[in-house]
């Protein structure tokens, strides 16, 4: 049976460390706020936004909430971002995605100043990560690295397969594993012989967005399996991209859904905010 990689516990440890850091920074006179912008009232986005505000309150940083109506124009949103870019006390700007279809997400991401881009989505942040320079790293992949390190999984020299190549998960994930000296293969919907390829992995990271697609035929005995996927099944229960019940029998370690990668994303967002306050 696999060891369970407990994202709830590890994210809790990270938030406690950050809480201490925030209180030390306050003593040095360093404070700052995270601005969270939501356009429209998509229920899933509202939950994420609420969780982010709660996390800020927990670690002791201020959050400024901007809840804008669905019909907000792109110009108005860009105007608000420009205003927040100029505000000294705002150290992080986060625009909850997805945005309504009449707003160009690319333009919005580009409008956030890279030094306040705590989501790590700005092309400058992505470029810095590619060449190994300082900058914000997108939160979910950064969270996976922390899960592995804090669970004692050695990355260096290991063969890693990342299934999925999206800009927010798969690609940055692969680059971060490369930075940690793994030998990395990126798989996607056109990859041939996917189960065979995945079976070569010491560390298999799945961000495919397909409920319970990955069963034992994709997993080598003793591999570490990280499941980034989040879905609701027919019974309205959360599940991942991996068939947890069967894969846990052959993996050496595995993340559950819920309670694996999910909680790490917000913890790493908080880490980026604290880094921004520290550097501000
Ligand atoms: P996307 O849909 O943007 O990307 C999915 C990727 O999987 C694509 O690169 C696609 O390939 C690839 N893919 C799709 N089908 C197959 C297949 N049959 N075989 C091989 N590859 C395939 O999803 P995201 O990266 O945004 O998210 C992935 C999952 O992670 C989702 O379940 C999402 O909900 C979850 N997620 C969880 C987060 C968390 O905090 N835990 C945060 C962000 C996402 P191609 O490029 O060829 O189309």
Domains of the chain, first to last: 30-115 (3.40.50.10860), 139-262 (3.40.50.720)
Instruction: Look up 119 and say whether it is catalytic.
Output: yes
Q: What is the pLDDT of residue 280?
A: 83
β-strands 231-232, 238-239 pairing = antiparallel
Ligand 1 atom nearest to CA at 240: 32
Residue to mutate, 164, 165, 191, ligand 1, most ligand atoms under 8 Å from C-beta: 164
Per-residue pLDDT of the chain (280 residues; tens, 9 = 90+): 999 999 999 999 999 999 999 999 999 999 999 999 999 999 989 999 999 999 999 999 999 999 999 999 999 999 999 999 999 999 999 999 999 999 999 999 999 999 999 999 999 999 999 999 999 999 999 999 999 999 999 999 999 999 999 999 999 999 999 999 999 999 999 999 999 999 999 999 999 999 999 999 999 999 999 999 999 988 999 999 999 999 999 999 999 999 999 999 999 999 999 999 999 8
Q: How far is the CA of 164 from the centre of ligand 1 (A)?
A: 5
What angle, 0 to 180 degrees and rounded to 10, lies between the N-to-C axes of helices 43-59 and 7-27? 50
Distance CA 31, CA 74 (A): 30
β-strands 183-187, 238-239 pairing = unpaired
CA dihedral 167, 279, 18, 112 (to 10 degrees): -40
Instruction: Look up 19 and say whether it is catalytic.
Output: no
Q: How far is the CA of 143 from the centre of ligand 1 (A)?
A: 16
Q: What is the pLDDT of residue 272?
A: 98
Instruction: Look up 13 and say whether it is catalytic.
Output: no
């Amino acid at each position: 049976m696999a060891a369970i990689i407990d994202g709830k516990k590890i994210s809790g440890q990270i938030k406690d460390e950050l809480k201490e850091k925030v209180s030390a920074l306050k003593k040095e006179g360093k404070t700052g706020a995270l601005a969270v912008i939501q356009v429209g009232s998509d229920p899933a986005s509202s939950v994420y936004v609420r969780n982010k505000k709660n996390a800020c309150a927990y670690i002791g940083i201020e959050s400024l909430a901007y809840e804008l109506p669905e019909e907000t124009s792109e110009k108005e949103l860009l105007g608000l971002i420009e205003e927040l870019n100029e505000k000294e006390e705002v150290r992080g700007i986060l625009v909850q995605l997805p945005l309504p279809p009449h707003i160009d997400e690319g333009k919005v991401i580009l409008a956030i100043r890279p030094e306040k881009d705590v989501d790590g989505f700005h092309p400058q942040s992505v470029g810095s990560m590619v060449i190994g320079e300082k900058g914000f790293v997108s939160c979910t992949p950064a969270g996976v690295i922390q899960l592995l390190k804090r669970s004692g999984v050695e990355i260096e020299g290991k063969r890693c397969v990342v299934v999925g190549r999206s800009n927010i998960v798969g690609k940055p994930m692969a680059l971060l594993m490369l930075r940690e000296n793994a030998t990395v293969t990126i798989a996607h919907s056109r990859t041939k012989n996917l189960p065979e390829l995945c079976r070569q992995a010491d560390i298999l990271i799945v961000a495919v967005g397909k409920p319970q697609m990955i069963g034992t035929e994709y997993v080598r005995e003793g591999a570490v399996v990280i499941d980034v996927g989040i879905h609701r099944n027919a019974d309205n229960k959360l599940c991942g991209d991996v068939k947890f019940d069967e894969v846990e029998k052959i993996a050496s370690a595995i993340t559950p859904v819920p309670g694996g990668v999910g909680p790490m994303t917000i913890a790493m967002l908080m880490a980026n905010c604290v880094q921004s306050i520290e550097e501000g």
